[in-house]
């Protein structure tokens, strides 16, 4: 257990929605800073979300067929997968890189 006094805690979150509109990835960067810097705590959480479908977000025939085939083939839907665009991937990379980079470095992923 840490007996050092907590000076500051910081939480940064970013949510990335799947292209299909039914899943998401949430990344949380959590840090705690203590008087004794050896006790500082830093962690990343990656949460996968399955968003509820509504009538405004109906899957097309091809997507329905793909889901049916996946369920017939494996017995499971795609609840553990997420499809992201190149722009979203770059956004994830920038978010993670900016959280771990040296504050004196002006670099950014292009």
Tell me the pLDDT tens digit for each residue of 60-81: 888 888 878 878 887 766 665 5
Q: Which pTM was predicted?
A: 0.53
Give residue 16's pLDDT.
87
- pLDDT at residue 22 above 80? no
Kindly indicate the confidence band of residue 3, based on its pLDDT and cuts at 50, 70 and 90: confident
109's enclosing H/E stretch is none
Contacts of 83 (CB under 8 A, 6+ apart): 18, 19, 20, 23
Supply the range of the domain harboring residue 68. 6-100
Average pLDDT, the chain: 78
Give residue 108's pLDDT.
60
Residue 14 lies in a domain: yes
Long-range Cβ pairs for the range 41-48 (8 Å, 24+): 44/96, 44/99, 48/23, 48/24, 48/79, 48/80, 48/82
Residue 24 lies in a domain: yes
Q: How many domains does the chain have?
A: 1
Kindly indicate the confidence band of residue 57, based on its pLDDT and cuts at 50, 70 and 90: low
Kindly tell me the burial class for residue 67, based on how many C-beta atoms sit within 10 Å of its own C-beta (0-12, 13-18, 19 or more): middle
Average pLDDT over residues 36-62: 74
């Amino acid at each position: 257990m840490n007996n050092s006094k907590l000076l500051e805690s910081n939480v940064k979150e970013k949510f990335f929605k799947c292209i299909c509109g039914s899943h998401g990835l949430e990344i949380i960067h959590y840090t705690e800073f203590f008087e004794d810097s050896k006790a500082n705590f830093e962690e990343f959480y990656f949460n996968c979300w399955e968003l509820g479908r509504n009538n405004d977000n109906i899957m097309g025939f091809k997507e329905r067929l793909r889901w049916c085939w996946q369920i017939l083939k494996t017995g499971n839907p795609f609840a553990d997968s997420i499809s992201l665009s190149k722009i979203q991937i770059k956004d994830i990379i920038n978010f993670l890189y900016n959280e771990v980079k040296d504050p004196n470095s002006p670099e950014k992923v292009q």
